[in-house]
Structure 1
Amino acid sequence: MREKIRLGDVCTVVTGSTPKTGIPDYWNGDIDWITPAELNEETYIINGSERKITELAVRKTGLKSFPKGTVVLSSRAPIGKVGIAGKEMYCNQGFKNLICGPRIYNEYLYWFLKSRKEYLISLGRGATFKEISKKIVESVEINLPSLSTQKEIVDILNKCRHIVDIKREELRTIDLLLNARFVELFGDPMQNTHGYPVRRLSEYIEFITSGSRGWAKYCTDEGTEWFITIKNVKDCHINTNNIQKINVPYNAEAKRTKVKEGDLLISITADLGRTGVVTKEISEHGAYINQHLTCIRLNKELLNPLYVAYFMESPAGKEQFMAKNQSAVKAGLNFKSINSLHLLVPSLAEQNRFVNFVIQVDKSKSAIQKSLDETQTLFNSLMQEYFG
């Protein structure tokens, strides 16, 4: 039977502080001093910091370091980021760090805190911003098996996490491969090294519209069709995982905003220029777009929509979106801005050659993504088994 015990009984909880930023002699030294902003969801071992402090800062301000192996936990802005110190270091006041005693293995504690992020956030107190105090962290209870069992659990979780990391890296490598293939076939899109004709997108647009506003009332988990939002559109694809379901009002507005196979979607607010192309599956399922997206129907005898998406995601396309964003008071594109976009226009045969390559690579990508999802599901179930 696992023993449940307070973290304060097996760990020493310490916090940090910030030397006065107005004293230059305290900064740009060679001593590591971390902040919560440096940690992310994939952080494990922390071997350095972005900002460094000096010995003078330590001596004059009385900062206390924490040793290698300490589990660092962000306690505000935001709560719940976790890592393990790979060396002795210092931190700012945004942490409540746990120096492990002999009864608890630091990597076991790391995974426990990762599994308890939402719970830790719920413990936050404060009117201006939420924070968990030293007392709150010390009072958190943990199931504590024997030290040997803790290490066995960590070994299993680390192996599973390693597989997840490998799969994620494979997906990143595939994206790099597609970008490299684009440049191989069409040259540098910024320089137009192949001398392709440069045309305005408006020359090929047969239909353009933006999505619907105020459709939240139609969104429901029991919906029979999909409502595509900006979060679903990225990197030339439309991700249907966790897509919003909707029961559509069959009126003129719905007819106008329903997408068809081959439609090019571009984000027109916030993160401008995210692209995706509507697949046969999405079209047949039935899908509509919200007001943050524009739907463009192109002359497919001259342009392959997926080629256009990749061009718009290339440096030559992103530069245009950045320029239009900088010229606006509020980030956003109207139809005039969309129509004025320029692109290189290779022959349709050349475009299709690239798109066929993308289609084949996407099959491999889908297989890797499926394997990643299965491994992530296994990982989550193990976390629940060990720490739930």
Structure 2
Amino acid sequence: MAKIDDSVKKKVPELRFKGFTDDWEERKLGELSNIVGGGTPSTSNPEYWDGDIDWYAPAEIGEQSYVSKSKKTITELGLKKSSARILPVGTVLFTSRAGIGNTAILAKEATTNQGFQSIVPVQNKLDSYFIFSRTNELKRYGEVTGAGSTFVEVSGKQMSKMSIMVPELSEQQKIGSFFKQLDDTIALHQRKLDLLKEQKKGYLQKMFPKNGAKVPELRFTGFADDWEERKLSEGTSKIGDGLHGTPNYSDNGDVFFINGNNLVNGKIVITKETKLVTESNQSKDDKLLNTDTILMSINGTIGNLAWYNNERVMLGKSAAYLTVSNFDKKFIFSYLQTSTIKNYFLNNLTGTTIKNLGLKTIRDTTLFVPTLEEQQQIGEFFWTLEETIALHQRKLDLLKEQKKGFLQKMFV
């Protein structure tokens, strides 16, 4: 790929493949494609339904680049008795209402309901994946142009009028192929990440006792003793929560005031909305937090966890802290993620509008605990698994950021 001189940026993208030098042309979407709406056969006539023709609804679109099987199907008679139209392979389905701008490419010919204005590329004029890669532009145009009182909807006529800068077909195909490969890589990493999360879920179910059992279903070799029933408070030096009230915020502060919504996937996440306080606002307990402390959301959203790692923070009332002393901290961190513990918490909440998990409930949580050596092996196993999941998440986030950058630089 080659970078383009600033002086010619208006008619060509900042980044393009070698061998292409011609200016891109401004065209109307309707000159490059046919915009086709959909329709729904009468739902009261069974002869129109459960046939061999795929029929998509907007709710099915948005998760995958390509679609090949719809939830509902219609018959030939249903097609004839409605305004639905057969759309060819390569059509870019575009939802035109109830969430404008979700897209997918047809891998098999199909029809849609009236919630679409689908883009059927004209042969030799528009590449399917090239226009699919511009989903964000299509969505923005649809949202701005759409009208309606009950819900916003964009018409086929309006979509046809959309101005778009395009190169010749061979360059479109090159760009489309590039983004397809990038999307395939992102999808592959997403599947790997989802699989790891499922595996973790399975291990959490099998490596901790459930339904009153004294041993888990799955154990490391060399351990055979029953696990002992203990209270969570027996393995912690302190369980408490943060400030019940509003602190004195300060733009000059260097301490973050955090609540339960700052605890995400094992980490304290600071956002631009996170307010600051001065060190003098911190309580004695805030200053005693250490690397053996687990933070947990206890108000509204229940049970999100994060490790405390020496960040300068002040806790609000929706964040509890558990400083682990007599148990292995990684073992406890994993145990708190099991469905057994989560269900116990959810079944013992207080409050009507906003649910709250009380500190007494946390302290009284019943655990089944093995020897420290077995705790350490289990804790280390889940720690390694968490690290692997975090690594895959970082790779996925990086790929998505790279795609975002390419989208900005490879289109006019």
Bucket of the pairwise TM-score, normalised by the shorter protein: 0.7 to 0.9
Give the stretch that moved more between structures: 168-177 or 376-385.
168-177
Shift of 1:55: 4.3
Gaps of 5+ in 1: none
**TM-score for both structures, normalised by structure 2:** 0.76
CA RMSD of aligned residues (A): 3.5
Aligned to 2:325, the other structure's residue is in SS state coil
Q: What's the CA shift string for 1:244-303, capped at 9, x where partnerless?
A: 443225565776678654433333455533x222242xx33x234555x33132442235
Contact 2:254–2:279, Cα closer than 8 Å, also in 1: no
**Number of aligned residue pairs:** 376
How far has the Cα of 1:383 moved from its partner? 0.8
Aligned to 2:313: 287
Q: Please name the residue that 1:263 is paired with.
A: 293
Asked if structure 2 preserves the Cα contact closer than 8 Å seen for 1:302 and 1:348, the reply is: yes
Equivalent-residue separation in structure 1 for 2:347 and 2:314 (angstroms)? 29
Q: What letter matches 1:153 in structure 2?
A: I
Whole-angstrom distance in 1 between the partners of 2:203 and 2:158: 53
Identity %: 24
**Rounded Cα–Cα distance in structure 2 between residues aligned with 1:18 and 1:223:** 59
Specify the alignment match of 1:319 in structure 2: 343
TM-score, structure 1 length as denominator?
0.81
1:144 aligns to 2:166 (yes or no):
yes
1:1-388 to structure 2, matched below 5 A, reads: 1-23=23-45, 26-40=48-62, 42-102=63-123, 103-114=125-136, 116-182=138-204, 186-187=207-208, 189-190=210-211, 192=213, 194=215, 195-204=226-235, 206-209=238-241, 218=249, 224-228=254-258, 230=260, 232-235=262-265, 237-238=266-267, 240=269, 242=271, 244-248=273-277, 250=279, 260-273=290-303, 275-280=304-309, 283-284=310-311, 286-289=312-315, 293-302=318-327, 304=329, 306-321=330-345, 323-324=347-348, 330=353, 332-335=355-358, 337-339=361-363, 341-388=365-412
What's the secondary structure of 1:313's corresponding residue?
coil
TM-aligned CA distance change 1:381 to 1:188, over 3 Å: same
Unmatched runs of 5 consecutive residues or more in structure 2: 1-22, 216-225
CA distance in 1: counterparts of 2:319 and 2:151, whole angstroms: 36
Residue 157 of structure 1 deviates from its aligned partner by 1.5
Q: Which structure is higher in helix share?
A: 1
Q: Deviations over 1:331-386 (max 9, x none)?
A: 62330554554433233332222222333444444444444343333221111112
Aligned partners of 1:110 and 1:138: how far apart in 2? Answer: 15
1:101-147 per-position Cα deviation (integer Å, ceiling 9, x unaligned):
12001111100124554454344433433322223322222221111
- On the 8 A contact 2:255/2:278 being kept in 1, the answer is no
- Alignment partners' CA distance in 1, 2:345 and 2:100: 34
Contact residue 33 and residue 91 of structure 1 kept, 8 A = yes
Q: Which moved more, 1:91-100 or 1:339-348?
A: 339-348
Greater shift, 64-73 or 29-38, is seen at 29-38
User: Greater CA deviation, 95-104 or 375-384?
Assistant: 375-384
* Partner AA of 1:3 in structure 2: E
Equivalent residues of 2:336, 2:342 under 8 A apart: yes
Q: CA deviation at 1:98?
A: 0.8
Deviations 1:285-327 (A, max 9, x none): x234555x331324422352x43342232232343355457x9
SS of equivalent to 1:80: coil
Mapped to 1, the partners of 2:406 and 2:339 lie a distance apart of 42
Q: Aligned equivalents of 1:20 and 1:257: distance in 2?
A: 64
Letter in 1 for 2:378: F
AA in 1 matched with 2:227? Y
